[in-house]
Structure 1
């Protein structure tokens, strides 16, 4: 007949399993932010400068009652005209600063600062 395990043997086994789980959890890759928003309102981008980690998708939402068009300064991306409540999204994979403006209202400008 098998001998029952003592409480101390069971406790040691449980602690070993728990320690292994902690090690595995601590070696998991960090989760990057996957989304952020820029509100378009009163002829401004809010926030005017947004800092995100590489891999983040930024969504612009037009809260104005007139159209706006989000355009990267060097032409790397450009939305269609955004009417009220329309959205445009862009994913930023590379670290650096991205400057953009409204192609309909060029005085409206903003920046996305992408960190590694």
Structure 2
């Protein structure tokens, strides 16, 4: 195993542990769990499975809301190369949505796993 890969794995583990620690340290004042976000019926959903974006290229009309749903046990992010959108780290079952108001090609990636990439084409 090369040192770069070891450093990346260690960094991901540290981030995951830090996030889990923060969540675990929160007071349990809420009596009920927040409802899971669900995409509207017919709205495009990009699944995150096995360290890949399922529908790595998606073409949508202007004004479409696209939702990414993390089904992995690892944290993932969605970051636009053009910096028009960026998610917080998504845990298993978490989702992130963005409305595409302008036509164009939006290339995105996971900042924690840069080999994970995708493209949204808005027409």
1:30-41 pair list within 5 angstroms: 35-41=43-49
1:66 to 67, 71, 74: 74
Calculate the TM-score normalised by the size of structure 2: 0.65
Query: Which has the greater radius of gyration?
Result: 1
Greater strand content: 1
Name the residue aligned to 1:86: 94
Distance 2:58 2:108 in 1: 12
Name the residue aligned to 2:64: 56
How many residues align? The count is 83
Runs of 4+ in 1 over 4 A off after TM superposition: none
Calculate the TM-score normalised by the size of structure 1: 0.69
Where do 5+ consecutive residues of structure 1 fail to align? 1-33
Structure 1 residue 35, shift from structure 2 partner: 2.4
Name the residue aligned to 1:44: 52
